[in-house]
Amino acid sequence: MKALILSGGKGTRLRPLTYTGAKQLVPVANKPILWYGIEEMANAGITDIGIIISPETGAEVQNKTGNGEKFGVNITYILQDQPAGLAHAVKVARDFLKDSPFVMYLGDNLIQQGDLSSFLDKFIQQQPDTLILLREVNNPSAFGVAKIDEHGRVLQLIEKPKIPPSNLALVGVYFFSDIIHYAIDNIQPSPRGELEITDAIQYLIDQEKQVSACNLAGWWLDTGKKDDLLEANRLILDTYLKTSIAIDSQIDPQTKISGRVQIGHGSIINNCTIRGPVVIGDNCHLENCFIGPYTSIGDHSTLIESDLEHSVILDSARIEKINQRIIDSLIGQRTRLTVAPHHPKALRLLIGDDSQIELTAI
């Protein structure tokens, strides 16, 4: 059994943040989104993993993720020279996949940890040609959608339909036998100009191959937008964070910490109030700050006289003397954020890497 994780694309829905980096490397709870997928594969016993990369961000993904040794897996990087669809990604990975069954996992998706193993067991035991995962959603037209009959059989798959036949969206996790290559060889690009994996699966359905579906009970998030990423950060912190304060961190007596809080190595915390769940990375400096729940602060960040909650701050950001509370925000690497007098009462921000912003009254 092999795995194929997709980490290409241009991340247009997370711009400006993704002008300077891969969307799959944006951190959730201070860990790149992509790594959660790799860890899910490792926990399920899949150690031979191919990662699809793009020309724009492939080098960054390789440098950040490595050869898989730290995850206990072997990683092969596969270049997809253009974003020509999920089925096209499978096509360019054929030399890696060969005749092996495999699970395909979209690298910007997150599912509840531990769910993958149960579906993998079902796929191995029942040996369908394809096993898809479905989840009820409120906005099915934004996803691939399944139409099923009263017995639960998959009748039709439609990619981002204007009039959805159901509210059952395809989760970004698919299990395939090697017959999927034959299906991909027999489909044409969609009106979007892409080889759609939904069209390949539909081809198998039309050929009366065994296409099974399972409903995903746990949570699932596509982190392609800011609010989705913040929700993923909230879920991870809420579900998995445990209190952990590095022994070499420095926390003065005036600082008040409540709830589950993780503080990394070499961080200095002076006269702050921190209410978990919160994760603070290595070598951070926080002074005279309020840090509210569901906040992640990346390594080497500095926050002086600032309040924030329900936000993700990437590495090496500096936020100084922001007396208004920053909420529901995603702030890029090496960002510098200061404020002038006569400022607003609250801020909601999406700021790309290397930005410098001063807030002032008009």
- C-beta of residue 327 within 8 angstroms of C-beta of residue 344: no
Residue type, position 175, single letter: F
Give the global pTM: 0.87
Category of 120 on φ-ψ map: left (φ > 0), alpha (ψ -120 to 50) or beta: alpha
- Note the pLDDT tens digit of each residue in 149-170: 777 678 888 878 888 888 998 8
Model confidence pLDDT, tens digit, residues 198-210: 899 999 999 999 9
What distance in Å separates the CA atoms of residue 321 and residue 66, rounded to the nearest whole number? 38
- Interacting residues of 362 by C-beta distance below 8 A, sequence separation 6+: none
The helix/strand count (H/E) of the chain reads as: 8, 33
Domain ranges for the chain, please list them.
2-237, 241-359
Q: What is the CATH number of domain 2-237?
A: 3.90.550.10
pLDDT tens digits along 273-315? 999 999 999 999 999 999 999 999 999 999 999 999 999 999 9
Predicted pLDDT of residue 37: 92
Buried b (16+ CB within 10 A) or exposed e, 27-61: bbbbebbbbbbbbbbbebebbbbbbbbbebbbebb
Q: How would CATH label the architecture of 241-359?
A: 3 Solenoid (2.160)
- H/E element holding 327? strand 325-327
> Token pair for residue 134?
């479905």
Cα separation values, 42 from 18, 45, 69, 72, Å? 27, 5, 11, 7
